[in-house]
Amino acid sequence: MSAAFNDFLGRRPSPEQPIEFPHNVHVAKKIACTEYCHESVTTGPVAGLPSVRTCMICHDAIATDRPRIQQITAMRAKGLDLAWQRVYGYPAPSHVKFNHAPHIRAMVECATCHGNIAEQTVARHNVDLSMGACVTCHIEKNASIDCLTCHF
Amino acid sequence: MDRRSFIKLTAVSGTSAALASCGNLENQLIRFVPDEDIVPGVAVWKPSVCPLCPAGCGLTVRVMDADADVVRNGQTGVLRILAAKKLEGSPAHPINQGGICARGQAAIQVTYHPDRITQPLKRAGSRGDGRYDATSWDDALAEIISRLDGLEGAGNQQALAFVARHGSGHRAAVVAQFLGRYGAPGPITYELFGDDVLRRANALSFGRDQLPTFDLPNARFVLAFGADFLGTWNSPVSQNHGYGLMRQGRPGIRGAFVQVESRMTQTGANADEWVPVRPGTEGILALGLAQVIISAKLRPADAGGRAGALIEGWTAGLRAYVPEQVEGLTGVAASRVERLAHQFADMRPAVAIIGGPPLAHTNGLFSALAVNALNALVDSVEQPGGLYFTPQLNLAAVTKQQGAAPSTPPSLDRFAAEILSAGPSASRVLFIDGVNPVHTAPRAWQVREAFEKVPYIASFGSFLDETSILADLILPDHTFLESWAEAVPESGATVAVAGVAPPVMSPLHQTRATADVLLEIGRRLKRPLTLPWQTLDEMLGATFAMLPAATKDADNWTDAQEKGGWWGSLPAGFTVAASTATLATPPIAFTEPQFDGDPQQYPFHFLPYPSNAFLDGSLAHLPWLQEMPDPLTSAMWSSWAEINPATAERLGIEQGDLIEIASAHGALRTAAMISPGIAPDLVAMPLGQGHQTFTRYASGRGENPVALLAPMAEATTGAFAWAATRVRISRVGDPDGRLIMFAGGMREEPNDEGR
């Protein structure tokens, strides 16, 4: 009942990722987020989510003794991919279009919406991404608040 | 509580049960590692070629990431793929110039159709009951190869038959080469609404065995005889484009357009003037105009040249076709004949177009030759504003094909008769390639009965239809988006065109491209066929590399794949030259059209016509087209018969009433559609519905008018005369909801009786 209620109001539950990906470890090792794993986030509307193949570029050799790495190595061997969930993941008929690329160009930190990933494992809801949250930030940053900026 | 919260709360409590299952279902699905690198959320446009009719329009396809349900190693899961999402016309293509028809828009549904055959199937039940077992490609190919080796061992290669649509492209060339090298006759082609009569007429009149292309943008007067050139006939998108320019593309000049026909088509509805004539007398009207033009000395008779010489009495001034005589035969007033003739000769460039029903009578060739002569008389052949012939790429010359061409196959009716009489040469193995003659050939040809007697049938189609359900083995083809697409259009442009495009997306299912399957079979036979190509794209590459390039260092093959084809002028060696030999045929004169059925017992002419949505019924499986309202009646998802209001009143028939239409060959019941655009002695029905087996959307829906048709043939060419049947009609009941109109009441799910 509460899930249905939240779904109706557009409140999405926190995503449950297939593995608890340690962002903090990768960020500490200075792996560039937008060049390897989330490519297309700087050019397109949607952040790319890495397939298991991308993980294996490094993890064929690195940290092969860790259980999580062995888990994904086994998946790759079976031809299976990681079913990553989008952090907010609004359904298509939400009548609102979000495009990552201009936000990255405007130097909005990933942490603004996804939490400080240098200190956490998987990305989480950092704000209640309602229209109010978007508009407040747009006003603060002097970005357009024309309806058609997002609703088109 | 404010109003908004109240509505939200009530909605939530009411729908909570349904929504309770919503959540992160995606989590529970198995995901496979994608085969390609995909940028999410960004669309790319790739070229393709529309396969739904022979016009060969160029497409651009919007391709984006999508999740597809697939089966891998027996496990069901989700795979991220690059998927085709939308089809548009290719702006640079010389045929459709950015346009696309409704049928082309709906072609996207072929690939994602829920009833597509997804893997090779082997018959499990008795023939025709539709029970199949899944099989592997290895087993399926081994079975076909052993059948063909068996025929060869018995020295009976002639007993392999291949039934296909009329085709002129590379894929058809692969089929012809396969059959020729194996020693089988060429493919048997059958189209209900084929244009063989017009091709023959053009070969006789102009030395061109092909359909014409009209320079509508430069025409000032267009006179069409039955040709639905804006709807379904010839190259409709190209003709629509030209028609728009003829009407509105030249400041100050608006081209005039007169349509001559006995049932108003979508094209006729656009005309300035609509001239109803008696069925089968269109050629007389054309010669009536020619007679007035010659006798009024608007044009000299010898301008008719070779085309005129084919008409009996042409040089003597066509005295048999004076307007009064024409009025008696056609029902068009003499004064109107005179006026149209003066318009036709004065408002030049003028062009006459003939196609469709006038050519489907027993005297169709005469009508076509008469219109050809009329065009020649006003100097409209290969002239601006007149008719042209698209230069044809001579594939045999370009690809340097060697080896024997296959022998000429029998026509479909002869083929069926041969099997039924079980002669020694009767077919032992039959290949069916995307054609459904059981549905579209007249019942008297007994195609179904004949096919049932063939010991072994393999089908390459993507869907189970009335013909492919007889197959012992089904080897499903890719759709055009999943394989190399190509077309060598016969008409629609004044330059030579060869369309080609690489696969737009990777195959969704375990299907294989038929041309590649044939090439593989050819390699694996006991006596390999040594075809010069391993795959279809190898052949395409060889052709396109031979074509003249735009610049010296341009790579033609790469360019063609990027823009969806090659177009331009061809060097002399690569075209099919016009034949200049004058044929020793005696001049042709009007003969009364023959109709099947006694006029007393069967007082109405019966006209089946290609449906705007389904053409000959081959597209009835696409739900978008089922949902598309017919442009003149607004009917959808159903069948109907058009009747003149005066006739309907006389017979006590009202809109939607259930009527029975009967010919000497069959009867059917359908809904009456009262239409003023039809002659009082004519009943017309669209083709397309009445499938017994053709996916969930078309099966058991409406009626098939082919069931009424008599096996009449055009007298000279032997082509099927599909407009030469007489019928009677009677009212048998009240409207029963089977007729569905766009502007009608609520539509319901089919009831228990399947209506």
SS3 B263: strand
CA distance A56 to chain B (A): 12
Q: What is the mean pLDDT of chain B?
A: 91
Give the pLDDT score at A122: 86
User: CA-CA distance, A100 to A85, in Å (whole number)?
Assistant: 16
Enumerate helices (H) and strands (E) in chain B, giving the number of each: 22, 28
Give the pLDDT score at A29: 84
Give the pLDDT score at B552: 73
Query: Which strand (E) or helix (H) includes residue B324?
Result: helix B323-330
Show the domain range for B99: 29-111
> B386-415, pLDDT tens digit by residue?
999 999 988 877 777 666 778 889 999 999
Q: Note the Cα B491 to chain centre separation in Å.
A: 14
Beta strand B666-674 with B658-663: parallel, antiparallel or unpaired? Answer: antiparallel
Q: Do B100 and B166 share a domain, yes or no?
A: no
Q: Do B276 and B339 share a domain, yes or no?
A: yes
Which domain CATH number covers B73?
A: 2.20.25.90
Nearest 5°: phi and psi at B470? -85, -5
Contact B339, B609 (CB under 8 A): no
CA distance A149 to chain B (A): 17
> B203-226, pLDDT tens digit by residue?
999 999 999 999 999 999 999 999
SS3 B80: strand
Q: Do B153 and B253 share a domain, yes or no?
A: no
Contacts of B78 in chain A (CB under 8 A): 83
Task: Give residue ranges of A with CB < 8 Å to any B CB.
Answer: 1, 3-5, 7-9, 13, 15-16, 18, 39-40, 43-49, 51-53, 76, 79-83, 85
Which domain CATH number covers B466?
A: 3.40.50.740
pLDDT band at B573; cut points 50, 70, 90: confident
User: CA-CA distance, B30 to A82, in Å (whole number)?
Assistant: 8
> B281-328, pLDDT tens digit by residue?
999 999 999 999 999 999 999 999 999 999 999 999 899 999 999 999
Q: Do B380 and B439 share a domain, yes or no?
A: no
User: CA-CA distance, B105 to B88, in Å (whole number)?
Assistant: 7
Q: Residue B183: left if φ>0, alpha if ψ -120 to 50, beta else—which one?
A: left
Q: Do B184 and B72 share a domain, yes or no?
A: no
Give the pLDDT score at B398: 78
Per the CB < 8 Å rule, is A79 touching B22? no
Q: Residue B301: left if φ>0, alpha if ψ -120 to 50, beta else—which one?
A: alpha
Give the pLDDT score at B5: 62
Give the pLDDT score at B425: 60
Q: Give a yes or no: residue B4 inside a domain.
A: no
pLDDT band at B17; cut points 50, 70, 90: very low
Query: Which strand (E) or helix (H) includes residue A61?
Result: none
Q: Give a yes or no: residue B47 inside a domain.
A: yes
Per the CB < 8 Å rule, is B20 touching A76? no
Query: Which is more confident, B407 or B668?
Result: B668
What number is the average pLDDT over the span B358-364?
96
DSSP B414-470: HHHHHHHTT-TT--SEEEEES--HHHHS-GGG-HHHHHHHSSEEEE--SS--TTGGG
Per the CB < 8 Å rule, is B31 touching A85? no
Contacts of A3 in chain B (CB under 8 A): 19-20, 22-23
User: CA-CA distance, B337 to B330, in Å (whole number)?
Assistant: 10
Per the CB < 8 Å rule, is B31 touching A81? yes
pLDDT band at B123; cut points 50, 70, 90: very high
Give the pLDDT score at B397: 79
> A34-91, pLDDT tens digit by residue?
878 888 888 878 888 888 888 898 998 988 999 989 999 998 888 888 888 888 877 6
Query: Which strand (E) or helix (H) includes residue A140?
Result: helix A131-140
B21, pLDDT greater than 50: no
Q: Do B187 and B201 share a domain, yes or no?
A: no
Give the pLDDT score at A121: 87
Per the CB < 8 Å rule, is B12 touching A4? yes
CA distance B562 to chain A (A): 24
Contacts of B23 in chain A (CB under 8 A): 3, 7, 13
Give the pLDDT score at A18: 86
Q: Residue B88: left if φ>0, alpha if ψ -120 to 50, beta else—which one?
A: beta
Give the pLDDT score at A128: 80
Q: Give a yes or no: residue B584 inside a domain.
A: no
> B720-751, pLDDT tens digit by residue?
999 999 999 999 999 988 999 987 666 655 55
Q: Do B150 and B209 share a domain, yes or no?
A: no
Q: Do B99 and B140 share a domain, yes or no?
A: no
User: CA-CA distance, B44 to B46, in Å (whole number)?
Assistant: 7
Closest CA to B288 of B387, B370, B206, B362: B370
Per the CB < 8 Å rule, is B23 touching A43? no
Give the pLDDT score at B60: 97
A143, pLDDT greater than 50: yes
B71, pLDDT greater than 90: no
Q: Do B320 and B341 share a domain, yes or no?
A: yes
Q: Note the Cα B313 to chain centre separation in Å.
A: 36
DSSP B126-177: STTS--EEE--HHHHHHHHHHHHHHHHHTT-GGGEEEEE----SHHHHHHHH
B82, pLDDT greater than 80: yes
Contact B163, B188 (CB under 8 A): yes
Give the pLDDT score at A82: 87
User: CA-CA distance, B42 to B139, in Å (whole number)?
Assistant: 41
pLDDT band at B238; cut points 50, 70, 90: very high
Q: Give a yes or no: residue B561 inside a domain.
A: no
Query: Considering its fold, how many domains does chain B have in total?
Result: 4
Last residue of a domain, one of B68, B91, B111: B111
Per the CB < 8 Å rule, is A79 touching B73? yes
Q: Give the percent of chain B with pLDDT over 70.
A: 93
Q: Do B307 and B453 share a domain, yes or no?
A: no
**Before B349, cis peptide (omega within 30)?**
yes
Query: Which is more confident, B443 or A128?
Result: B443
> Closest-CA residue in chain B for A55?
B33
> B149-165, pLDDT tens digit by residue?
999 999 889 999 999 98
| Partner A, chain B 44-83, Cβ-Cβ below 8 Å | 72-73, 77-78, 80
Contacts of A51 in chain B (CB under 8 A): 33-34, 80
Give the pLDDT score at B22: 45
Per the CB < 8 Å rule, is A3 touching B19? yes
Contacts of B24 in chain A (CB under 8 A): 13, 15-16, 85
Enumerate helices (H) and strands (E) in chain A, giving the number of each: 8, 1
B6, pLDDT greater than 60: no
B752, pLDDT greater than 70: no
Q: Give a yes or no: residue B69 inside a domain.
A: yes
A4, pLDDT greater than 80: no
Instruction: Rank B550-554, B671-675, B740-744 by mean pLDDT and report only the highest.
Output: B671-675
DSSP B647-665: HHHHHT--TT-EEEEEETT
| Cα distances (angstroms) measured from residue B525 to each of B401, B444, B518, B521 | 20, 37, 11, 6
B40 in A contact zone (CB under 8 Å): yes
Which domain CATH number covers B303?
A: 3.40.228.10
Give the pLDDT score at A3: 66
Q: Give a yes or no: residue B570 inside a domain.
A: no
Q: Give the percent of chain B with pLDDT over 90.
A: 78
E-state strands within B465-545 = 473-474, 485-487, 496-501
Which domain CATH number covers B673?
A: 2.40.40.20
Last residue of a domain, one of B341, B363, B388: B388
B753, pLDDT greater than 70: no
Burial of B314 (0-12, 13-18, 19+ CB in 10 A): buried
Closest CA to B292 of B334, B258, B241, B244: B334
Q: Give a yes or no: residue B460 inside a domain.
A: yes
User: CA-CA distance, B306 to B248, in Å (whole number)?
Assistant: 34
Closest CA to B491 of B144, B223, B233, B204: B233
B14, pLDDT greater than 70: no
pLDDT band at B27; cut points 50, 70, 90: low
Task: Of B6-10, B570-574, B725-729, give the lowest mean pLDDT range.
Answer: B6-10
Q: Do B261 and B312 share a domain, yes or no?
A: yes
Terminal Cα distance for chain B, rounded? 49
Q: Do B317 and B363 share a domain, yes or no?
A: yes
Half-sphere exposure of B304 (CA within 13 A, CB side): 29
Radius of gyration of chain A (CA): 17
Last residue of a domain, one of B534, B559, B574: B534
| Cα distances (angstroms) measured from residue B171 to each of B165, B433, B486, B602 | 11, 11, 8, 44
Per the CB < 8 Å rule, is B20 touching A52? no
